[in-house]
């Protein structure tokens, strides 16, 4: 899955949070990811069988990725996004955003799913969730999170699929707490595919 520009709105406004995202999925499992943020000068790359790294191109520094050791949602910095149809539907992620904001240290909204996942993988964020999302948005980043020791499911806690339209990714230590905070604000899991398309 190739997304030549994840974070289009950021790009059009000159905000540095946009990237190129390339993910390899084999038999439904993300196995390799590359996320390159040119304005930030950073490349995250690797996969579960290859190891994962963050390369700072400006300083020529490479370090392995490792998810954050923070164990409570109260101390966690998490990220999310909002669907493009938020003006036309009540299913807009705002209630879930408020709930997680009240339970965590903060919720970021930077406009690029691939970068949000890369930042979970490198320990900057403890978690990220989003619904109504496309496979090319999450294929690369989900491989990075798993390879860095994190956990990826859908927001209902079920097995993650890049084509499932929804993701919850964490350092693993705050995963259940994030799912618990989201649960009252999600549609019934039997409706999740319909609501994500």
Q: Is the pLDDT of residue 194 over 50?
A: no
Full strand arrangement of the beta sheet holding 42-47: 2-6, 19-26, 29-37, 42-47, 51-56, 61-64
pLDDT tens, position by position, 76-118: 999 999 866 556 666 778 889 999 999 999 999 989 999 999 9
Q: Which of 32-41, 48-57, 153-162 has the lowest mean pLDDT?
A: 48-57
Report the chain's mean pLDDT, rounded to a whole number: 92
Question: Residue 132, SS3?
Answer: coil
For residue 52, the model assigns a pLDDT of 95
Residue 156 CA to residue 121 CA, distance in Å, equals 21
For residue 97, the model assigns a pLDDT of 93
More confident call, 190 vs 184 = 184
Question: Residue 139, SS3?
Answer: helix
User: What's the start-to-end Cα distance of the chain, in Å?
Assistant: 18
Do 18 and 5 contact (CB within 8 A), yes or no?
yes
Q: pLDDT over 90 for what percent of the chain?
A: 84
pTM for the structure as a whole: 0.92
Integer-rounded Cα radius of gyration of the chain: 15
pLDDT tens, position by position, 118-159: 999 999 999 999 999 999 999 999 999 999 999 999 999 999
* DSSP strands (E only) in 61-160: 61-64, 77-80, 106-108, 127-131, 151-153
Residue 101 CA to residue 108 CA, distance in Å, equals 9
For residue 22, the model assigns a pLDDT of 98
């Amino acid at each position: 899955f190739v997304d030549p520009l994840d974070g289009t709105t950021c790009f059009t406004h000159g905000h540095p949070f946009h990237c190129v995202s390339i993910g390899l999925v084999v038999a439904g499992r993300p196995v390799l990811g590359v996320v390159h943020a040119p304005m930030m000068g950073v490349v995250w790359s690797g996969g579960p069988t290859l190891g994962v790294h963050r390369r700072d191109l400006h300083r020529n520094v490479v370090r392995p990725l490792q998810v954050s050791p923070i164990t409570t949602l109260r101390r966690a910095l998490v990220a999310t996004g909002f669907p493009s149809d938020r003006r036309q539907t009540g299913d807009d992620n705002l209630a879930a955003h408020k709930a997680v904001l009240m339970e965590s240290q903060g919720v970021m909204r930077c406009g690029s799913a691939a970068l949000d996942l890369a930042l979970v993988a490198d320990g900057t964020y403890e978690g990220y969730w989003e619904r109504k999302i496309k496979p090319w948005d999450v294929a690369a980043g989900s491989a990075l999170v798993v390879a860095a020791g994190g956990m990826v499911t859908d927001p209902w806690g079920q097995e993650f699929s890049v084509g499932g339209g929804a993701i919850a990714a964490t350092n693993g230590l705050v995963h259940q707490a994030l799912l618990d905070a989201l649960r009252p604000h999600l549609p019934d899991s039997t409706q999740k595919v319909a609501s994500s398309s």
